[in-house]
Structures are given as structure tokens and as C-alpha cells.
């Protein structure tokens, strides 16, 4: 038993000597945990910074792409809006032209009736009371017809004394005139009409050729002088 106790004492001494010889480690487990946390935090921060840079770069690229798409869509919208506005104006203009064409066709068919009324007014010279009453009835119908034409935008041309314009007039005859210069209208043979500023029917007119009578008289006098000179020359030769 004494031996066992001595052995235990020896073992304890050995343990103490072993502990004395081992290197001292003053760090506690809490310090090691903090160090591990700091290193992991640094790594995490590095990763997060890199991811943030990539995210910003991707967002910038995406923003630039969206701006380009926005500009493209804006340009398309402007073109479509302009095309639609042009289409709307063209449709409105075509409708107005079609309306004018239809009205012109109808009114052109009525104009010969107006011409007949005007011819009758110029030719008829009522003498009896009954003829005058009939004439007044015709005049009333004529005025009513003219009023309807005015309401539709029809206006007669005034051409006598105006210079000939092929866009408005149609020359039927040409004759010399002492009163009017060349290419001026001497007489209206058939009245022309406007519709909303456009020609509904051209006026049939007689156009002046200028003072042709004077020219012809001068030519006659010139021929007479030439004949006198020739006769004088013949007389001198005979002598």
C-alpha cells in the first residue's frame, strides 16, 4: 500500500513537470471566436463589395439599354402621330374634294336652265299686261334660282374688259377692237361661274385682237403710196 502511494506521488510529480515544460497559451476561447468573426467579416465585406460593383455595373448597362429603347419608342410614336395627322388631313381634304365634285356635278346640270332664263329675259319684250305678268313670273323664278345658287356658294364671273385667262375663260371668237387692247375680253357669250373659289364653268368669250382697223388702213395707205411711186417711175421712163 505504501508503494502504491509512492507511485501516485511520482505520477503527480511527472504531471506537474509536464505541465511546466508545455508552452503557455494565454488566449481564451472568446478571443479565438472574435478573431474568427473578424476574418469572416472581412471576407464577407470583400464579397459584398464585389457583388455591389457588379450590380451597379449591370444596372448602368440596363439603364442605358432602357434609355435607348425609350428613345426608339419615342421616335416611333412621333412618326406614327405625324403619319396619323397627315392621314387625317388627307382624309378631310379628300372628303371636301368629293363633296365639291358632287355639288359641282349637280350645279353644272342646273346652269343651262339659268342660261335659258337669261336668254328669255333678253329676248322677251312684253307689251300687253298679260305678257308683263308672265314676264314677272319668269323673273321671280329666275331670282329664286339665282338665290339658291348663291346659297350653295356659286358666284358668276365678270369678264368683259378683263384680260383673257385660259384658266377662267374659253375663247370662242377673236376680232379687232378699237375699245379694247389685244387679249382683252370684248364680249361674254356664255357666263362662267365660280364655286367656293374654284371654276365651276368656264366663260365663253370673244377676245380682242387690238386695233386691227388702223393697221389695215395703214397698209392700204402704204399700198397706195407704193402704187403712186411705181406710176411715177413708169411715167419718167416713158418720157
Task: Clarify whether residues 163 and 148 are in a common domain.
Answer: no
Q: Is 71 part of any domain?
A: no
pLDDT in tens, 88-143: 999 888 888 888 888 888 888 889 988 888 888 777 777 777 777 877 888 888 88
Give the chain's domain count: 2
Q: pTM of the entire structure?
A: 0.53
pLDDT at 206: 93
Task: Clarify whether residues 147 and 159 are in a common domain.
Answer: no
Mean predicted confidence (pLDDT) in 77-93: 90
- From start to end of 73-140, where are the E strands? none
Task: Clarify whether residues 184 and 212 are in a common domain.
Answer: yes
State the chain's mean pLDDT as an integer.
Answer: 76
Provide the domain limits for residue 148: 106-152
DSSP string, 163-231: BP-TTTEEEEEEE--SSS-TTBEEEEEE--EEETTEEEEPEEEEEE--SHHHHHHHHHHHHHHHHHHHH
Amino acid at each position: 500500500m505504501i508503494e502504491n502511494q509512492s507511485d501516485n506521488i511520482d505520477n503527480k510529480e511527472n504531471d506537474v513537470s509536464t505541465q511546466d515544460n508545455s508552452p503557455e497559451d494565454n488566449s481564451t476561447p472568446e478571443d479565438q471566436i472574435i478573431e474568427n468573426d473578424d476574418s469572416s467579416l472581412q471576407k464577407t465585406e470583400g464579397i459584398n463589395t464585389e457583388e455591389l460593383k457588379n450590380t451597379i455595373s449591370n444596372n448602368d448597362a440596363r439603364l442605358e439599354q432602357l434609355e435607348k429603347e425609350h428613345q426608339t419608342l419615342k421616335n416611333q410614336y412621333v412618326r406614327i402621330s405625324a403619319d396619323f395627322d397627315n392621314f387625317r388631313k388627307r382624309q378631310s381634304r379628300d372628303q371636301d374634294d368629293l363633296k365639291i365634285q358632287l355639288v359641282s356635278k349637280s350645279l353644272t346640270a342646273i346652269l343651262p336652265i339659268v342660261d335659258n332664263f337669261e336668254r328669255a329675259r333678253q329676248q322677251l319684250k312684253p307689251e300687253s299686261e298679260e305678257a308683263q305678268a308672265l314676264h314677272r313670273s319668269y323673273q321671280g323664278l329666275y331670282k329664286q334660282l339665282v338665290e339658291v345658287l348663291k346659297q350653295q356658294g356659286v358666284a358668276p364671273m365678270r369678264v368683259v374688259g378683263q384680260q383673257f385667262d385660259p384658266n377662267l375663260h374659253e375663247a370662242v371668237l377673236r376680232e379687232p377692237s378699237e375699245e379694247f387692247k389685244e387679249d382683252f375680253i370684248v364680249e361674254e357669250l356664255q357666263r362662267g361661274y365660280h364655286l367656293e373659289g374654284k371654276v365651276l364653268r368656264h366663260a365663253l368669250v370673244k377676245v380682242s385682237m387690238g386695233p386691227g382697223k388702223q393697221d389695215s388702213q395703214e397698209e392700204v395707205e402704204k399700198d397706195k403710196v407704193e402704187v403712186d411711186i411705181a406710176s411715177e417711175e413708169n411715167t419718167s421712163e416713158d418720157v
